[in-house]
Amino acid sequence: MRIKLVLQYNGTQYKGWQRQKSCVNTVQQQLEEALTKICNQEITVHASGRTDAGVHALGQVVHFDTQTYRELDRYVSGCNHFLPATIRVLDACIVEQDFHARFSSIAKTYCYKFYVGKECAILHDKAMHVCVMPNLQWMEHACDLLVGNHDFASFMGAGVCVHSTKRTVIRCGVKSSTDSFTGQKLIDLTITANGFLYNMVRRIAGLVLRIGLGEMNLQAVQWSLENKDKKYTTLVAPSCGLYLTGVQY
């Protein structure tokens, strides 16, 4: 039997999603240990994608196989009983055996958050701090240039080998709001694509921000898409501002 789970987590205290031999503090390990207790068998989960240390998720999707039948709400309540409060399972359902959390996905959505003004203790591990308000119109124009099928090699982190660096960005845009608790201005950069490269969203966030601050012009986006060179994409926005918000199937 194959089960799909949707979960959220605050990634601040974790060394990323993926289980590591040298570290027990990963989201995957926490979830697998909880499911192993519920199912009375060793469980391995497969996620829609890995998130780095400090990255958050509002809608991470995973699947696992088990021979143990439980009511679906037991997977939710049972996991949440054994998991730390910074990881919550939101939903569980039975899926076909050919469903795969990663390979069945057709698109994912990430949001990168900035907060503007004075440094804030509440937001410091939830968003990237920006001292002055960037020009949202310039940022929006930069986002428009990213939409479509492009080679994002200039936006990929080092040390990764992939078959192709071409990806299709379906939507990309920015919006501003005010945090109801702190009163700080927030900026959300949201991007949906058929796939993402390592560090792609964080490098996009860094470039779009620099354009909004007037440190670079829009030609930097076009140049980066046409050339496999990180001349304009050296700023990798910190992981604290990145959220996996949803996976589409």
For CATH 3.30.70.660, the residue range(s) in the chain are: 107-248
* Topology classification of domain 2-95: Alpha-Beta Plaits (3.30.70)
* 3-class SS of residue 59: strand
- CA 55 centroid distance within chain: 6
Within 10 angstroms of residue 205's Cβ, the number of other Cβ atoms is 27
Q: Give the pTM.
A: 0.94
Which one is the CATH code of 107-248: 3.30.70.2610, 3.30.70.660, 3.40.50.300, 3.30.200.20? 3.30.70.660
Tens of pLDDT, residues 4-50 = 999 999 999 999 998 887 767 999 999 999 999 999 999 999 999 99
Instruction: Name the active-site residue from 52, 65, 125, 179.
Output: 52
For CATH 3.30.70.580, the residue range(s) in the chain are: 2-95
Tell me if residue 98 is catalytic: no
- Please tell me the distance from the alpha carbon of residue 168 to that of residue 3, in angstroms, as a whole number: 29
> What is 3-51 written as a DSSP string?
EEEEEEE-GGGSS-SS-BTTBS--HHHHHHHHHHHHHTS----EESS--
**Mean of per-residue pLDDT scores for the chain:** 95
Q: Band of the pLDDT at 190, cuts 50, 70, 90?
A: very high
